[in-house]
Amino acid sequence: MTRTIPSLCFLLLAAACMADETISGFADPSADYVLESLDGRGFAAAAVIRFPEEGQVTGRAPCNAFGGEQTAPYPWFELGPVRATRAACADMAAERAFFEALGAMTLAEVNGPVVILSNEAGREMVFRRAP
C-alpha cells in the first residue's frame, strides 16, 4: 500500500506534464478562425485556420485546403511543411500572400476569439473565431 501512493502521485504528475503546450492547447479546437487582416490591412479573400488537435494546423487558404504540424510550445509558432491541395482560382495572388505570411510567423497569441500570429519583423496575421 505504501508503494501505491507514490506510484499514483508519479502517474498523476506525469499526466499533468503531458498537457498540450502548442497553440492548439490554447485555441478552441472546434473553431474556425477567419483571417481578418494581414500586416495591418484587411484581407479581402477568404482564409480560415484551425487548431483541431495537439500539434495540428489545418485550414482553407483562398484557393486550397492545407494542413501541417506545429509542435513549438506556446507562444512560439513554427509551422512544419505545409501540405496543400493544388487547385487554381482567381485569388492566386491572395493565396501566395497568405502562404508566404503563414510561413513567416514565429509567435502566437490567443486572446478569447482572436488568434494573432506574428514575427519579430513586425508581420502580423489576425484571425477571429467564426460565428
Q: Is 80 among the domain residues?
A: yes
Q: Is 3 among the domain residues?
A: no
> What range defines the domain where residue 39 resides?
20-129
Rounded to 5 degrees, φ, ψ at 25 are -80, -10
Q: What is the pLDDT of residues 43-64, one digit of tens each?
A: 999 999 999 999 999 999 999 9
Q: How many helical (H) and strand (E) elements, i.e. helices and strands, does the chain have?
A: 2, 9
Q: Is 120 among the domain residues?
A: yes
Q: What pLDDT is stored for residue 2 in this prediction?
A: 53
Number of domains in the chain: 1
Tell me the HSE value of 119 on the side-chain side, using a 13 A CA sphere.
13
CATH number at residue 77: 2.40.128.270
Q: Are 55 and 40 in contact (CB under 8 A)?
A: no
Q: Is 5 among the domain residues?
A: no
Q: What is the pLDDT of residues 74-84, one digit of tens each?
A: 999 999 999 99
Q: Is 10 among the domain residues?
A: no
